[in-house]
Structure 1
Amino acid sequence: MDEQRGFDDVTRLSSAVETLREAATPLDRTERLGLAAAERRVLATPLDARRPVPHFRRAAMDGYAVRASDTFDATGRSPVTLDRFGVGAGSVASGQAQWVHTGSPLPNGADAVVKVEETTRREDRVEVETAVAEGTNVAPVGEDVEAGQRLFEAGHRLRPSDLGLLKATGVGEVEVYERPTVGVVPTGDELVEGDPGPGEVVETNGFTVSRYVERWGGTATYRRIVPDDPAALRSAIQRDLTKDVVVTNGGSSVGKRDHLADVIDDLGEVLFHGVAVKPGHPVGAGLVEDTPVLMLPGYPVSTIVGAVQLLRPLLKRVGHLPPTEPPTTEATLARKIPGEIGARTFARVSLDTGDGRGDDEGSGGDEHGEVVAEPTRASGAGVLSSVALADGWVVVPESREGIPAGETVAVEHWEYDE
């Protein structure tokens, strides 16, 4: 069956994304977490350094800590001789030098470090062959970070390097936004969880979407299969209105067993139903008691396209996550990709670097061969392997009927680990 049949009015993808984002409200719930649990979380408040880094004066070179004034007359031909002390020998008085390692505290009384290669050791003395000024080869307090310095603003998503900086500056806990909660509701009389019999289909869409929710910064509740019954669908949606977002799989088209749009319309408001994308045309969305409900189609590839293009930006909006773009690889198209004027097409491709090996995510190929994008042979909306075994997809814009062989294209690695 043609998945686009029956839609009299369709929405451009860009308009659908914006409509869904405008309908969503960024959550305001926060929680406090230790640093080890805060990676990839979004700050709800700005953070300042609680202590300077370094919090003591430290040697920036291996050498001798000295009083700079003791070295003013030192030259290679006429070195200054100072009494030498070992590490940790206490304060440095006038006429003395103490050995220091890079990063070790500067002894009291010292205000400079002479590099070891600019000295000559003579038993319990050291000859200094270069004059140094106060502060030479010394890292002052707060050279890296000053106490009270603003480190991150609210809305910043924490990376491992950020967490290391926070620990160094005395921050042990952070206030972050909670992860958006998402109810994932697979629907369909033909779906089963176990081994399928004749006419039955193993439920994969809801499971796949729940994994994407977790990857994209949300917390998924993966529900049991709901039959194609209006009352059951209504109950399932109402149950998950305590979530920040509800996502359904299947039942979003306009066939006799596709009841979801009518259920959403009865419970709240349908924002759009039918989007100009291939595959994934029957995607829709609504708002029920201020909760966005995204209706993804039943075909696996359509579900994934709809999730990437609509659910991902929706979760970022609700969870205060910054927008990001997937990495791309430039490649030469091996075969023509068909498109359709007015619809955005997502054509799955595999990449060949010219040496017989597939291409890794975001790779630009190798120096010995051209990167070639080969469209997958099986490209239907129900062929899950066409995405699972692909390296990415090429987007054919609404303005083109297709892309000819030989053209340079950008392959989006949409399944990157953000």
Structure 2
Amino acid sequence: MGTEFLQIKEPDEAKELIKNYFNKYYNPESEEVPLEEAYNRVVFEDIYSRIDFPPFDRALKDGFAIKSEDSYGASEENPKIVKIIDSLEAGSYSKKTVELGTTVEISTGSPLPKGADSVLMVEYTLKDGDEVELYKSVTPSQDVGKKGSDVKKDSLLLKKGVVLTADKIGVLAAQGFTTVKVYKKPDIAVISTGNELIEAGFELKESKIYDVNSTMIKNGVTASGGIATKEGIIKDDYNQLKSTILNALKKHDVLLCSGGTSAGVGDVLKNVLDEIGEVKLHGIAVQPGKPTILGVVNDQLVIGLPGNPVSALVIFNVFIAPVIRELAGISEKSLKTVKGTLQKRIHSAVGREQYQLVTYDNGDVIPIFKDSGAIFSLARADGYVNVSKNTEIVEEGETVKVSLFN
């Protein structure tokens, strides 16, 4: 029940350990959702076409469905004349058969009548009663969308891992899908701990501050493809924290807790986890964010993030968000990094990897030199630059890679 840190892990070792424990206790799962509610969800398995599309030969233009040889040699000086035997609007079809010397008036999207092999656009015709003059020659299949020309039945439509945007949902709708199998979102509980914290909306009394982390981390979970539920602010009270953790894990897959991870007098999370489970990680050799905890309780994970908002956000983005995205089926390729020129020198403590908050403006990378408790530095920050543990100085003018928060 001591307050000492366990053996501090190097960042790569910590990432691997966290990933391995997620893989041990959680597997990506699927769920079927209505197509209308599938926007921005991730396809769980390859999807194949159910029908040929288009499902029939169809007109690509308004005009007249003819046998192409009826138009050979046609011009404005020498029009060809054919008889109209039927007229079609989109959504209807003709039972008539087009023979030489006859035609069916047709709308875009309508099925090509039997016997016809091409469509002559209405712009090159002149209708006169039940006849029409043809002023242009066409070739077989001209302005006809052949059955299956877009996609054949049983063709691959969407690959596993594709994010369902409006255009891709349209593709599924064209195939008659009403539901789609997607990755189930990881269900994560979020709590903040600390006697000093109060909810926004209440009067800010002496020695109190508004809770930042639970709302911030909840939205980070959402952006990473999960579902997050705030389970409230918990005082630095052993029994209250213990009961909250146990109750939250009954309803959710994972618990993210901010605060209570340091080796301070008022920090109790490690002690609680030692009683109800087992601490697997306590401390990462990074700045900010050293006091990070990973515990296992009844084969579920409890992750303790630092209480300082900057530290909490950085640790979440670097170590926790990747495993949530993996469960949610979101590819790491979707993450955005940019390169730019450092505008001010960065000093870093040798022996500890540093995540330096920066702003990014049209190729200029500007460090934000505030401590990890400086909440409003987050308002300016666009992302962070990773400084390796063996680097003491990153010089002004160097090209650096910025990992963007958005």
Q: Do they fold alike, i.e. is TM over 0.5?
A: yes
State the alpha-carbon separation in 1 of the partners of residues 247 and 38 from structure 2.
30
Q: What amino acid sits opposite 2:66 in the alignment?
A: V
The match for 1:411 among 397, 402, 406 is: 402
State the alpha-carbon separation in 2 of the partners of residues 404 and 410 from structure 1.
14
Q: CA deviation at 1:142?
A: 1.9
CA contact (8 A) 1:334 1:405 kept: yes
In the alignment, what sits opposite 2:366? 374
Residue correspondences, number: 390
State the alpha-carbon separation in 2 of the partners of residues 406 and 29 from structure 1.
46
Unaligned 5+ segments in structure 1 are 353-364, 366-370
In the alignment, what sits opposite 1:50? 50
Cα deviation 1:34-81 (Å, max 9, x = unaligned): 11211222344543333332222122345442213434x537699671
State the alpha-carbon separation in 2 of the partners of residues 409 and 28 from structure 1.
34
**Residues 26 and 165 of structure 1, relative CA distance in 2, 3 Å threshold:** farther
In the alignment, what sits opposite 1:14? 12
Structure 2 matches for 1:1-400, cutoff 5 A? 7=5, 9-24=7-22, 25-27=25-27, 30-71=30-71, 73-74=72-73, 81-83=80-82, 85=84, 87-88=87-88, 90=94, 91=96, 92-115=98-121, 119=124, 121=126, 123=128, 124-133=131-140, 135-193=141-199, 194-242=202-250, 243-352=252-361, 365=362, 371-377=363-369, 379-400=370-391
Which range moves more in the overlay, 94-103 or 206-215? 94-103
Cα deviation 1:287-336 (Å, max 9, x = unaligned): 22211111100101001011111221121233333334532333222111
Q: What amino acid sits opposite 2:291 in the alignment?
A: P
Q: CA deviation at 1:181?
A: 1.1
State the alpha-carbon separation in 2 of the partners of residues 57 and 341 from structure 1.
70
**Residues 251 and 100 of structure 1, relative CA distance in 2, 3 Å threshold:** same
CA contact (8 A) 1:394 1:409 kept: yes
State the alpha-carbon separation in 1 of the partners of residues 108 and 290 from structure 2.
63
Q: Secondary structure at the match of 1:303?
A: helix
State the alpha-carbon separation in 2 of the partners of residues 258 and 268 from structure 1.
17
Identity of aligned residues (%): 31
CA contact (8 A) 1:249 1:298 kept: yes
Report the RMSD for the aligned CA atoms in angstroms. 2.8
The two structures have a TM-score, normalised by structure 2, of 0.86
Q: What amino acid sits opposite 1:373 in the alignment?
A: V
State the alpha-carbon separation in 1 of the partners of residues 142 and 136 from structure 2.
15
CA contact (8 A) 1:249 1:303 kept: yes
State the alpha-carbon separation in 2 of the partners of residues 290 and 324 from structure 1.
30
